[in-house]
């Protein structure tokens, strides 16, 4: 399967220059030909079959470069899920310029949470997808009524908190790794608060048993000392999501740490120095994650019975699955 990608950009209306532009990289199933456009410019046409395709928008961790998620984008696009990775350098907090998933902190306080989206990147990304679907290599190839959001770390938390069809009616569901819905005391929430998130769509929450970053970050939520690495992810599943339709999952992956989801990992940015050593093969861990994500999207969200079976078999038979709960 040939996978190709191209770049694009989107303006964020309320953001101030120079931090008002998101840069996109869109991965898609492609078909090599001998056209002059391909030879001259490297523009490869989309594969002709099976379109329109669902779309996954992936929200990155803070200061994690887009290249670290290319492995997943290639896997998703190769299975027929067009995937959008993006980079947005912005000022998340006063004086803190970072590579951000696009978090709107003003909507993430005790008095504002739940009243409006906290993911300021999503409207601009959807507008860009509408434009991309109207012309060019992916003209009429995108199913804009079947969009899935995913994310890692802070980007995963942004995905969890915005998986809401009242705000974004084109959403089908959400997948995350190393992300939870705990509320930061720095934003005014009481110690050990968990945010309620929209129960109207399915979720796949994945956690790593060796996640040192989440454990070391527990002070943000009022803990006096480091917590269990997966505790708040499990509590997000059990306490924050009031959904009982058999399509929402918590999966703990044996031996995975916080940055097992990234490849390659850039240790010059982000907080890799907090992580614990992973156990086992990172390649096997990522392969397990990709299988779970693809079969969750195509099976649970899009109704492919064979993919539902793949998800179940992976849960039952893969030795990397340390724990699974469904509701």
Write down the domain spans for the chain: 2-326
In terms of residues, how long is the chain? 327
Helix axes 282-295, 305-317, angle to 10 degrees: 150
Q: Name the DSSP letter for residue 134.
A: T
Q: How far is residue 244's CA from residue 199's CA, in Å, rounded to a whole number?
A: 9
pLDDT score for 34 = 65
Mean pLDDT over 44-66 rounds to: 88
Q: How far is residue 268's CA from residue 264's CA, in Å, rounded to a whole number?
A: 12
Q: How far is residue 121's CA from residue 22's CA, in Å, rounded to a whole number?
A: 8
Q: Which CATH architecture has domain 2-326?
A: 3-Layer(aba) Sandwich (3.40)
pLDDT score for 212 = 80
Q: What is the per-residue pLDDT across 133-180, written as a single tens digit (0 to 9) for each?
A: 999 889 999 999 999 999 999 999 999 999 999 999 999 999 999 999
Q: How far is residue 278's CA from residue 252's CA, in Å, rounded to a whole number?
A: 14
Q: What is the per-residue pLDDT across 17-47, written as a single tens digit (0 to 9) for each?
A: 898 999 999 999 976 676 656 554 567 777 8
Cα atoms in the 13 Å half-sphere on the side-chain side of 131: 12
pLDDT over 90 for what percent of the chain?
65
């Amino acid at each position: 399967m040939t996978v190709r990608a191209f770049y694009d950009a989107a303006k964020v209306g309320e953001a101030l220059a120079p931090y008002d532009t998101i840069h996109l990289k869109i991965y898609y199933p492609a078909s090599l030909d001998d056209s002059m456009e391909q030879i001259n410019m490297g523009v490869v046409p989309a594969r002709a079959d099976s379109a329109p395709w669902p779309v996954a928008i992936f929200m990155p961790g803070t200061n994690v470069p887009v290249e670290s998620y290319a492995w997943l984008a290639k896997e998703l696009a190769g299975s027929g899920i067009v995937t959008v990775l993006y980079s947005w350098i912005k000022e998340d907090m006063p004086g803190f310029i970072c590579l951000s998933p696009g978090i709107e902190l003003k909507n993430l306080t005790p008095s504002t949470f739940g009243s409006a989206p906290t993911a300021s990147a999503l409207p601009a990304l959807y507008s860009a997808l509408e434009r991309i679907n109207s012309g060019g290599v992916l003209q009429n190839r995108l199913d804009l009524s079947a969009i899935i959001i995913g994310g890692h770390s802070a980007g995963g938390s942004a995905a969890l908190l915005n998986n809401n069809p009242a705000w974004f009616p084109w959403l089908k569901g959400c997948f995350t790794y190393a992300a939870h819905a705990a509320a930061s005391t720095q934003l005014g929430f009481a110690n050990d608060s968990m945010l309620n998130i929209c129960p109207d769509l399915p979720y796949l929450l994945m956690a790593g048993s060796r996640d040192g970053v989440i454990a070391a970050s527990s002070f943000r939520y009022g803990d006096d000392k480091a917590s269990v690495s997966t505790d708040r992810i499990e509590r997000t599943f059990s306490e924050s999501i009031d959904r009982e339709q058999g399509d929402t999952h918590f999966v703990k992956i044996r031996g995975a740490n916080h940055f097992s989801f990234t490849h390659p990992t850039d240790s010059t940015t982000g907080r890799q120095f907090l992580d614990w050593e992973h156990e086992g093969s990172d390649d096997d861990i990522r392969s397990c994650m990709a299988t779970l994500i693809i079969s969750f999207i195509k099976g649970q969200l899009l109704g492919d019975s064979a993919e539902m079976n793949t998800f179940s078999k992976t849960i039952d038979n893969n030795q990397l699955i340390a724990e699974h709960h469904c509701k």
